[in-house]
């Protein structure tokens, strides 16, 4: 077995999310549902990437907020079906080896690769910064993300479509390291769901917390219904009697995800013949989404009542992750000709 293959016979999955608040339906449809499903076939490692969330922190209070989000986010994972008996669930900062690998990988990563990442320029703009004032951590974000993944020699990364360019860069960094120092890391591949990009309620390309066009998994049914009623539909359907075009309507695309198939046919027919209006259509969608989310919400309430259990999961997960990480760092030291401490 070469050092680039995993000791495990199964493939290794790694993925992370920033603990910036509750998860929304886009996170679930684009990534989390795959996290759950892949537990059957892979050794899975799921990480609350709190250091990544520090790129936008400016005070102790901001930083404390991130820590308080970790448990909320992990509750959403458990609610969705992440099984801590099978998968490693941990907090990024609890495995400081990732920062060691980040520094070492930064030596093989050309600055131009990082400046060309499409989300870099976008983030700089969003944060009201310039390329001169933006913190170094944000530029190096994809290097830390690469370290997250390859520290565990993961070969597969389940994420939403917006992450494709980052994982492409991770492959290039891993390849360059392997070229310089010998075969060490697998080149990680993206694993998408059937719906890798959920559109926002306002019709913007991506459902996202920062755009406030999202539906939280853990929201109340009433709140979910209220937000669904604000969703954009076919803009040409200015009045109730104009037939709609389901193929351009995000409400219809969500019906296809959450409404039973036979009922979806009725949605299509009644929309294209103007037999139903958008208000009724959204009411039905809200009911479908709430029915879909109810078992998750129920499980979430159960876990929420046992906060010490969630902390125990993260503690155990951190220990397991550190064991793997320490072996990789030892190998990287050896490959790069560093003496072992």
Give φ, ψ of 12 to 5 degrees: -115, 130
Distance of alpha carbon 82 from the chain centroid: 14
- What is the CB neighbour count within 10 angstroms for residue 329? 20
Question: Closest residue to ligand ATP, Cβ-based?
Answer: 30
The binder of ligand ATP chosen from 94, 123, 176, 209 (CB under 6 A): 209
Contact 155, 129 (CB under 8 A): no
User: What is the torsional sign of CA 111, 113, 116, 120?
Assistant: negative
d(CA 328, CA 114): 24
- Our finding on whether 322 is near ligand ATP (CB under 6 A) is no
What string marks each residue from 124 to 163 as x (binds ligand ATP by CB under 6 A) or -?
Answer: -----------------------------------xx-xx
Measured from the CB of residue 336, what is the shortest distance to ligand ATP in angstroms?
30
Of 85 and 128, which CB lies nearer to ligand ATP in the complex structure? Answer: 128
Sequence-ordered alpha helix ranges (H) in 87-163 = 97-106, 111-115, 118-126, 136-139, 141-150
What string marks each residue from 164 to 203 as x (binds ligand ATP by CB under 6 A) or -?
Answer: --------------------------------xxx-----
Give φ, ψ of 48 to 5 degrees: -85, 105
The binder of ligand ATP chosen from 5, 8, 204, 210 (CB under 6 A): 210
Contact 111, 338 (CB under 8 A): no
Measured from the CB of residue 304, what is the shortest distance to ligand ATP in angstroms?
21
What string marks each residue from 11 to 30 as x (binds ligand ATP by CB under 6 A) or -?
Answer: ------xx-x---x-xx-xx
Q: How many residues bind ligand ATP (CB under 6 A)?
A: 21
- Our finding on whether 318 is near ligand ATP (CB under 6 A) is no
Measured from the CB of residue 20, what is the shortest distance to ligand ATP in angstroms?
5
Q: H or E element: which one contains 310?
A: helix 307-335
The binder of ligand ATP chosen from 208, 253, 272, 304 (CB under 6 A): 208
Give φ, ψ of 338 to 5 degrees: -85, 145
Q: Which residues bind ligand ATP (CB under 6 A)?
A: 17-18, 20, 24, 26-27, 29-31, 159-160, 162-163, 196-198, 206-210
């Amino acid at each position: 077995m070469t050092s680039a293959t995993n000791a495990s016979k199964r493939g290794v999955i790694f993925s992370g999310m920033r603990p910036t608040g509750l998860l929304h339906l886009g996170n679930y449809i684009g990534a989390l549902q795959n996290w759950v499903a892949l537990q059957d076939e892979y050794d899975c490692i799921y990480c609350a990437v709190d250091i990544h969330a520090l790129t936008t922190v400016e005070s102790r209070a901001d930083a404390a907020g991130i820590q308080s989000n970790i448990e909320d986010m992990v509750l959403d994972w458990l609610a969705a079906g992440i099984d801590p008996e099978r998968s490693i669930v941990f907090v990024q900062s609890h495995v400081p080896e990732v920062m060691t690998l980040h520094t070492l990988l930064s030596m093989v990563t050309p600055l131009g690769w990082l400046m060309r990442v499409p989300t870099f320029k976008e983030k700089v703009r969003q944060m009201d910064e310039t390329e001169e004032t933006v913190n170094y951590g944000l530029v190096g974000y994809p290097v830390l993300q690469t370290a997250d993944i390859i520290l565990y020699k993961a070969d597969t990364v389940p994420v939403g479509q917006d992450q494709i360019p980052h994982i492409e860069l991770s492959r290039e960094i891993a390849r360059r390291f392997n070229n310089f120092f010998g075969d060490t890391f697998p080149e990680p591949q993206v694993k998408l769901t059937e719906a890798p990009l959920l559109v926002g309620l306002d019709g913007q390309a991506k459902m996202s917390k920062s755009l406030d066009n999202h539906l939280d998994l853990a929201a109340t049914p009433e709140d979910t219904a209220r937000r669904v009623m604000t969703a954009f539909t076919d803009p040409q359907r200015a009045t109730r009697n104009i037939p709609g075009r389901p193929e351009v309507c995000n409400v219809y695309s969500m019906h296809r995800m959450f409404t039973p198939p036979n009922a979806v046919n009725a949605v299509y027919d009644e929309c294209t013949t103007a037999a139903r209006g958008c208000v009724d259509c959204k009411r039905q969608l809200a009911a479908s989404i709430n029915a879909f989310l109810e078992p998750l919400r129920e499980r979430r309430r159960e876990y929420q009542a046992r906060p010490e259990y969630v902390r125990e999961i993260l503690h155990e997960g951190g220990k397991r992750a550190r064991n793997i990480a320490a072996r990789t760092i030892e190998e990287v030291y050896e490959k790069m000709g560093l003496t072992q401490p």
